[in-house]
Amino acid sequence: MIAAFKTGDKQVIAEYIAYPLWRMAPIPSIKNRQQFIARYDEVFDETIIGKIIASNIENDWSVVGSHGIMFARGEMWIDFSGKIIGVNLLTEAEKRVRAQLIADQRSKLHESVREFSEPLEEWITRKYHIRIDDMGDHDYRYAAWSLNKAVGDKPDIELFHGQITYQGNGGDCTYTFSNGKYKYVCSVYVMRQESEPPGELEVYKQGKRILDDFVVKDLLAQ
C-alpha cells in the first residue's frame, strides 16, 4: 500500500480501499472505486501522502485488538487484509466541501435547531428521525422527529448537555442524554461490518431499557 502511494497511481490505490469509505459528516461516503478515483485529490493531499510514504512499519503502524491496524494516532486505519477502512483527516478541499454542505443543512432545519457548531449524526431509525449536533464547548444536542414529520418542523424532543464516551480510537462512541427519569443513549458504530447497522438508540426509564431502536439509514453518510 505504501508503495502504491509512492507511485501515486490512483487506479492501484483504489484497490486498497474497503468501500464504502466513510467521510466526516455531512460529506458523502465514497461508495466505489470510480467515486474514489474522482475524489482522490479531496481525500489525500500532499501532507497526508507524505506522512504515509515516510512512515515506518514498525513505529508508525500498530495492531489495535480486533479493530485493525492504526496509522500514527488514528489518522488512518486498515484491516487485516490490507484494505483502508478509515481516513480520519480532512484536506483543505474537503473542508470547503463540508462547509457548503453544512450551510445547506441549516437552511432546511427548523429555526429552533438551526444553530450548532458541528453536525455529528443524522439517522433514520425504525421509529424516529434523529439529529445529534455539537453545540460547542463540549455541549451536545439531541433532537428527534417522528417519521411523519420533516426536519423543517419543530422537533418532538430536544435535549442538551449530552455526554460523549469513546470506545478506542476507531471512531466508535456513545452519546448519552438525560431527561428526568429517562436516559437516551445513541451508540455510533464506525468499526463494523457493512451488513451491521451504523448506530443504535436505546431509551432507559429509571435504569430499565424501554426502547432499542436500530438505525436503518445514516443520512450524513449518504
**Residue 67 CA: distances (Å) to CA of 14, 63, 107, 115:** 21, 8, 37, 35
Q: Are strands 118-125 and 84-87 parallel, antiparallel or unpaired?
A: unpaired
Closest CA to 141 of 167, 126, 121: 121
pTM: 0.73
Find how far residue 160's CA is from the centre of its chain: 20
First to last CA, the chain: 27
DSSP annotation of 144:
E
Tell me the per-residue pLDDT of 14-71, one tens digit each, with 9 for 90 and over: 999 999 898 888 898 899 999 999 999 999 999 999 999 999 999 999 999 888 999 9
Tell me the per-residue pLDDT of 143-169, one tens digit each, with 9 for 90 and over: 999 999 999 999 999 999 999 999 866
pLDDT at 170 over 70: no
pLDDT of residue 5: 95
